[in-house]
Structure 1
Amino acid sequence: MSHSRLLIVDNDSAQLAQLADNFARYGLIVEGAETPLQMRTALAQHNYALVVLDPAIAPEQGAALLRELAIERRLPVIVHSAACGEADRIAALELGAEDCLCKPANPRELLARIRAALRGRMAPGAHKDAAAAARSFASFEGWRVDMTTGQLFDPKGTAVSLSDGEFQLLRVFVEHPRQVLDRGRLLDRVYGATTDHYDRSIDVQLCRLRRKLSASGLKGPVIRTIRNEGYMFVHAVTN
């Protein structure tokens, strides 16, 4: 994870400076943006491994900014916000966030969450078996999953917009079709064995993934809940 470049979107300049200084000791390059315009300018100039976002920088646009980062730009996002009740955390996850922390978070905890998110982004590649590693595409019911670029295409060839977390979850199911996967195994595969994510995050990601697949035209149950056991991707998958 050394020298990963992070973008912190927050209008508290003192906190930006403090976090940049703290994280630099751990090999992270931290840059800040205090407005949506500065955020988009930074994104146009650099590639970032992760974004820490306080939606309060633009109260009327906070949800849209999170969707833009997580869904449109497919960046892992940690929401760092003073609005951190259970409903707020669930809403952030449903909008595509990888994690959500109450502000002001302990810098060491924020660093641990960043590390967990970055490990999770790399985890599926580390867990793939030889058969999965050998293929770059997988297909089911006329749909195609590009395992290399992280894209899903419907039978007409139209790309379906998925957040990074949603795609990683789909990838796990596609690599293990018609197998029952319990919540712990999904957490391990999606976020990494040492994840700090809580079980509810998988439920939220799964709900979003099911909803998007259904809205994009995939009929019938795709991921079935097996009571007291876990979840199963019901379709056969071919290379």
Structure 2
Amino acid sequence: MQHGMVVSVAADGEEMVQQMNHGHFDLLILDLMLPGKDGVTLCREVRAKSDIPVIMLTALGEEIDKIVGLEVGADDYIPKPFNPRELLARIRAVLRRHFTIPQVHDQLAGQHFLYQFDGWTLDSASRELKDPQGTLIALTSTEFELLVAFLSHPGVVLSREDLLRLVQGRGADVYDRAVDTLISRLRKKIESDPKSPRLIKTIWGGGYQFSCEVST
């Protein structure tokens, strides 16, 4: 036991899966560079079966890697080298958020909403987004949850941290730039002029605001 936590170590993805199948774990730390399946692949597979918090550990620090980690369901992202005390602080923060903050998928559990805004419709059950002409617009799972976060809080200014917590309880200190990129992608799908957005507005010093009437 270290710092009040019981730690198990796995050399690769296969050993990790074996340990998870025979024990209970509250958090998973995944190195991106692993023999066999890499951390992103393993994170995607774990997330398909479990909501266990995941921290990605990697020597790569490019923004695209953070976005990939966000898309597959990682809760935090720490580039190497790092201070062990920082890792411990991140672990505690992720666990605290995971067990106390309601997220979009929890809000939608067992419920069916048909969001309507500016001629658009979003079906929460089928996750289908249709434009005013009825054309189906493809969304990634993270884009869907981000849009639901906005539609659930019309007119409310949401910080990057608010949005990340609503989506999957992640910390904005790591993913703030990734959120900006995801919002840019979402704007390209729902805004008539993404460079001059009318629906998702940037509130300088505050975050983002969905500036449109929403009905359900």
TM-score in terms of structure 1 length: 0.57
Aligned to 1:154: 128
Residue type matched to 1:226 in 2? T
Aligned to 1:12: none
Cα distance in 2 between the residues matched to 1:119 and 1:213: 31
Note if 1:208 corresponds to 2:207. no
CA-to-aligned-CA distance 1:11-62 (integer Å, 9 cap, x gap):
xxxxxxxxxx214x2xx44333211212233444456443211122237734
SS across alignment from 1:119: helix
Aligned to 1:138: 113
Note if 1:52 corresponds to 2:29. yes
Aligned CA RMSD, in angstroms, stands at 4.4
Deviation at 1:204, TM superposition (A): 0.7
Aligned to 2:201: 225
TM-aligned CA distance change 1:64 to 1:187, over 3 Å: closer
107-116 or 57-66: bigger deviation? 57-66
Q: How many residues align?
A: 194
Deviation at 1:190, TM superposition (A): 6.3
Cα distance in 2 between the residues matched to 1:93 and 1:80: 11
TM-aligned CA distance change 1:172 to 1:218, over 3 Å: closer
Aligned to 1:18: none
Give identity over the alignment, percent. Answer: 28
Aligned to 2:134: none
CA contact (8 A) 2:149 2:166 kept: yes
SS across alignment from 2:7: strand
TM-score in terms of structure 2 length: 0.62
112-121 or 62-71: bigger deviation? 62-71
Cα distance in 1 between the residues matched to 2:24 and 2:17: 12
Residue type matched to 1:224 in 2? I
Cα distance in 2 between the residues matched to 1:110 and 1:91: 21
Any stretches of 5+ residues in structure 1 without a counterpart? Answer: 1-20, 127-131, 147-151
Cα distance in 2 between the residues matched to 1:92 and 1:70: 17
After superposition, residues 106-117 of structure 1 pair within 5 angstroms as 106-117=83-94
SS across alignment from 2:92: helix
Note if 1:22 corresponds to 2:2. yes
Deviation at 1:68, TM superposition (A): 3.6
TM-aligned CA distance change 1:41 to 1:84, over 3 Å: same
TM-aligned CA distance change 1:70 to 1:209, over 3 Å: farther
Cα distance in 2 between the residues matched to 1:66 and 1:211: 23
Cα distance in 1 between the residues matched to 2:90 and 2:167: 14
CA-to-aligned-CA distance 1:152-176 (integer Å, 9 cap, x gap):
71159xx96535xx67654532321
Of 55, 66, 78 in structure 1, the residue corresponding to residue 55 of structure 2 is: 78
Note if 1:34 corresponds to 2:11. yes
CA-to-aligned-CA distance 1:119-139 (integer Å, 9 cap, x gap):
33345429xxxxx89x94433
Any stretches of 5+ residues in structure 2 without a counterpart? Answer: 131-137
